[in-house]
């Protein structure tokens, strides 16, 4: 599981499911093992695919707040 946590740095597409499965390390069940196997199969099948982040012309990040 530790290797999958490390892999989430380079593969953010699995970050959410790895975080969910890692919550059950101390009391894992068969369903958690099946989820882990699913993640490994996904990684094997999509070995060459990555998420692509590109510059869309945004200069800054803005936050908005709603006034009462």
In the chain, where the domains are located: 2-45
Question: Where do runs of H (alpha helix) occur along the chain?
Answer: 2-7, 15-22, 30-45
- Checking if the pLDDT of 67 tops 60, the result is no
pLDDT at 59 over 70: no
Q: Is a pLDDT exceeding 70 seen at residue 23?
A: yes
Reported confidence tier of residue 51, pLDDT bands at 50, 70, 90: low
Q: What is the mean pLDDT of residues 54-61?
A: 64
Mean pLDDT of 21-32: 83
Q: What is the pLDDT of residue 68?
A: 43
Q: What is the pLDDT of residue 44?
A: 87
18 close to 4: Cβ distance less than 8 angstroms: yes
């Amino acid at each position: 599981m530790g290797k999958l946590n490390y892999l989430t740095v380079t593969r953010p597409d699995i970050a959410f499911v790895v975080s969910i499965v890692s919550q059950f390390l101390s009391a894992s069940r068969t369903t958690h093992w099946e989820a882990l196997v699913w993640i490994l199969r996904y990684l094997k099948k999509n070995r060459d695919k990555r998420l692509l982040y590109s510059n869309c012309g945004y200069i800054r990040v803005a936050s908005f707040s709603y006034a009462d």
